[in-house]
Amino acid sequence: MFKLKLPTDPRWANIAEGNIEEILTDHAWCEQKAATNAIGLITMLPEYPEIVTELLAIAQEELEHFGQVHEIIKKRGYTFGRTRKDDYVNELVNFIQKGGNRDDLIVDKMLFAAMIEARSCERFKVLTENIKDEELKTFYRELMISEANHYTTFIGFARQLGDEEKVNKRWEEWLEYEAKIIQSYGKGESIHG
């Protein structure tokens, strides 16, 4: 569905399961950042009330996910750590087109969001299929579905706001770029690491 060029090595789930406390903290902050990103997009699109409504729903859902992860952390007696730098996301930010016109920037920011949702969904699937923790298997299966829906929404907005052929071409560029950078990840105790 996502056409990611390089799948996550399933052994990453073993790394993740080796330090669930760290993964959950990192994941919680990823959800908070996703909510913030959706709110940022809202500020760029006041003239599109239907898109604003959908982005608001995504922001609320991401905050709900943040709360769910935070509750798991508390329930398990873990410590909720400080926010983490996400090198993967920062490398994706570097690929957002600079200059150009406002519409192209908005489309690229939608594709940026779609890329993060696609990779997150794929990572949640790897966790679902490879960890032993039954509670987290169920939790990540549910989130996987949500992330897939967010991916579809962001891709749809990009195609609605831009020329579909140009958007599809740019999405292929995003996929190629992401395949290059993701080679450096999948070895750390973080959702994108």
Q: For residue 62, how many other CB atoms are within 10 A of its CB?
A: 23
pTM of the model: 0.95
Instruction: Look at residue 174 and tell me whether its pLDDT is greater than 80.
Output: yes
Which 8-state DSSP code applies to residue 8?
P
In this prediction, residues 24-53 reach a mean pLDDT of 97
Q: Mean pLDDT over residues 38-65, rounded?
A: 97
Question: Is residue 48 within 8 Å of 130, Cβ to Cβ?
Answer: no
Is the Cβ–Cβ distance between 11 and 189 less than 8 Å?
no
CATH architecture of 10-183: Up-down Bundle (1.20)
CB atoms within 10 A of CB 82: 6
Instruction: From residue 45, give the alpha-carbon distance in Å to each of 94, 108, 114, 185.
Output: 22, 14, 17, 33
Round to whole Å and give the CA distance between 153 and 30. Answer: 18
- % of the chain surpassing 90 pLDDT: 87
pLDDT of residue 1: 58
- Ranges of beta strands (E only) in the chain are none
d(C-alpha 140, C-alpha 193), whole Å: 17
Average pLDDT, the chain: 94
Residue 164 is predicted with a pLDDT of 94
Poorest-pLDDT segment among 27-36, 49-58, 91-100: 91-100
Half-sphere exposure of 151 (CA within 13 A, CB side): 19
